Amino acid sequence: MKKIFLIACIFFAVSPGTKAQNDPGLALKTTSTPTVVTDVLHYYLNKHYFKTGLTNLDNYPDFMTDATGVTTSTAITYCGSKFEVPAGETVTVTGLEAYVRRSNNHVSQSIPIHLYLFTIDPSSGLPQTIIDSIVTTVSYTSTTLTGGNFTNAATFAARTLTTSFAVCVRNMGLYNGDFAHLLRTAGATQTNAAAPTSEKYSDGYGFVRYNGIFYHSTNFNLLPGFGVGTDYEFMVAPRVTYDLQASQLLPPGVVSANDLVTLPDTMCTRTVLTFTNTSSGFFEHRQYNLNQFYRKWNLYSAFPQSVNGAFAPDSSLTWHFEFYEGQPETRVFLPYVNNKTISAVTDKSSEPVCFDANEFRARLKPMAALGVGTQLIYNENFKVCFKFCNNDALGIDVTPGYENFKMYPNPLVNGVTRISGLKSRNTILVYDLLGQIVSKEITENGSAEINLSKHGRGTYLVKIVNPENQVKVVKIMNEK
């Protein structure tokens, strides 16, 4: 029987896009072959879909944009939203698309609209310079997808971006009454207590251009339909490509299962193992990975169980460790949050024990509209070996005072063992190897019973403290 227990997680702040270097003195870098991902970032459309479950886009909220060739009723010409680029990464925008419909009270059978790609002014966070645009039309009174790919080869380099960018739509109709309805999010801020819970999930990344000046749509109050408490974001989406790589730095002594030559080092239990993510930042960004989208926005209010087959994401980046006799249902996994330091304990006290059912997993589900993209999967196994070294499984010094102490049976029978040989008053604490107290008793008798029949199989630590603060620690096995 072999077991590995993860008993501590310590977090270190490292930017999600940081690329760790392959320093042979520190760790072994293992990596996947980079994959070119092609996706359409329907991030804002998915916000409404995953909160409501609505698949009929005609029932989505919208904003009616006026034709530009006449005196408009709103004086708003551009509507759009911002997208980020993970730190240290590069995104190439190949085109733009949006879900739009024509008003029932139209003049023209086909309304021209333009979709724009902008740089972002770093000081204001608003659109600054047009990089490229798409000319398209709106011809249907039901909501349809319109857009296309950029065609001007001369501007290709400019569309390869390393910082935030903006996308927007403009109604280029010439006649009064040629209204184009652009889909938007539900529009309430996270902190607006009066708004329905399902609407409290805005990044504050929407913007409008009013009378020739760009404004953030958060609390924009110059026109009816907006106002304090609103935070419209508009469902314009960039078509993108980017390189995706899953990789990690393994701790010294830990070996990738792909390495058929190197054997893992045998280290003492409680050795600190530092697993470092060096994967592309897209795995951990909510606008590119639907798994991260779910983890962020489902915190504000749970998504309906009916949405997308009760969508339950795989964690974006996780380390899974063999836990109990290799049974998959008892694996322990740790989701990635920057760097992670992990202490591991094995219950073997003599011969070294190796664990080879450990796995680093990377998952990215594209941001396609309504969450229909196929998840990208990367797995890598690694090996770890441990042995018991001089009380290192406990970290607690045992002091005199328990010369007559006895505990029997161990392993427990039907979850029960008895202690004898105690003196005066004693506090008896039972811990699992995650450090959680599962039982506490204070006794003034010379004997006591420990009953773990209602607890799971495994290794537990019994800590006994007398009035002189003398400590006795015993490891017990519950094999009920």
Are both 188 and 260 inside the same structural domain? no
Closest CA to 80 of 28, 44, 56: 44
Q: Tell me: the pLDDT tens digits for 358-376?
A: 888 899 999 999 988 899 9
Helix or strand (DSSP H, E) at 356: strand 353-364
Q: Tell me: the pLDDT tens digits for 54-72?
A: 889 999 988 877 766 554 5
- Calpha distance 343→269 (Å, rounded): 8
Q: Is 222 among the domain residues? A: yes
- Calpha distance 354→344 (Å, rounded): 12
Q: Is 387 buried (19+), middle (13-18) or exposed (0-12) by CB count in 10 A?
A: middle
pLDDT greater than 60 at residue 189: no
Are both 338 and 355 inside the same structural domain? yes
**SS3 assignment, position 308:** coil
Helix or strand (DSSP H, E) at 476: strand 471-478
- Calpha distance 11→27 (Å, rounded): 18
Q: Is 396 among the domain residues? A: no
Residue 134 confidence (pLDDT)? 93
Domain region containing 24:
5-34+245-387
pLDDT greater than 80 at residue 18: no
Sign of CA dihedral 236, 239, 245, 246: positive
**SS3 assignment, position 312:** coil
CB atoms within 10 A of CB 131: 17
Q: Is 405 buried (19+), middle (13-18) or exposed (0-12) by CB count in 10 A?
A: middle
Question: 259 near 30, Cβ under 8 Å?
Answer: no
Domains of the chain: total = 3
Residue 123 confidence (pLDDT)? 94
Q: Phi, psi (5° rounding) for residue 199? A: -100, 0
Are both 70 and 213 inside the same structural domain? yes
Would you report the helix, strand and coil content of the chain in percent, each value rounded to 5? 10, 45, 50
Are both 73 and 124 inside the same structural domain? yes
pLDDT greater than 90 at residue 109: no
Among 210, 241, 272, the domain boundary falls at 241
Q: Tell me: the pLDDT tens digits for 216-232?
A: 998 888 887 787 778 88
Residue 349 confidence (pLDDT)? 45
Could you tell me how many residues make up the chain? 480
Question: 339 near 277, Cβ under 8 Å?
Answer: yes
Helix or strand (DSSP H, E) at 45: helix 43-52
Q: What percent of the chain has pLDDT over 90?
A: 28
Are both 47 and 155 inside the same structural domain? yes
Q: Is 105 among the domain residues? A: yes
Residue 241 confidence (pLDDT)? 96
Question: 432 near 450, Cβ under 8 Å?
Answer: no
Are both 15 and 48 inside the same structural domain? no
Q: Is 399 among the domain residues? A: no
Question: 41 near 238, Cβ under 8 Å?
Answer: yes
Q: Which two tokens stand for residue 232?
A: 């419209």
Residue 236 confidence (pLDDT)? 96
Question: 335 near 317, Cβ under 8 Å?
Answer: yes
Are both 42 and 189 inside the same structural domain? yes
Are both 413 and 467 inside the same structural domain? yes
pLDDT greater than 50 at residue 273: yes
Among 241, 263, 292, the domain boundary falls at 241
Among 128-142, 148-162, 378-392, 411-425, the minimum mean pLDDT is found in 378-392
Q: Is 96 among the domain residues? A: yes
pLDDT greater than 70 at residue 260: yes
Strand 266-268 to 376-387 pairing: parallel
Q: Is 400 among the domain residues? A: no
Q: Model confidence at 258, in pLDDT bands (50, 70, 90)?
A: confident
- Calpha distance 461→428 (Å, rounded): 10
Are both 237 and 323 inside the same structural domain? no
Among 387, 417, 441, the domain boundary falls at 387
Are both 333 and 416 inside the same structural domain? no
- Calpha distance 137→180 (Å, rounded): 10
In one-letter notation, the amino acid at residue 42 is: H
Q: Is 275 among the domain residues? A: yes
Residue 324 confidence (pLDDT)? 46
Look up the CATH number of the domain holding residue 467: 2.60.40.3080
Q: Tell me: the pLDDT tens digits for 286-339?
A: 999 999 998 888 876 677 776 766 677 788 888 887 764 444 444 455 665 555
Among 10-14, 72-76, 354-358, 381-385, the minimum mean pLDDT is found in 10-14
Average confidence (pLDDT) over 80-101: 95
Are both 49 and 175 inside the same structural domain? yes
Q: Phi, psi (5° rounding) for residue 198? A: -65, -15
Are both 64 and 182 inside the same structural domain? yes
Average pLDDT, the chain: 79
Cα angle 143, 146, 152; round to 5: 170
Q: Is 360 among the domain residues? A: yes
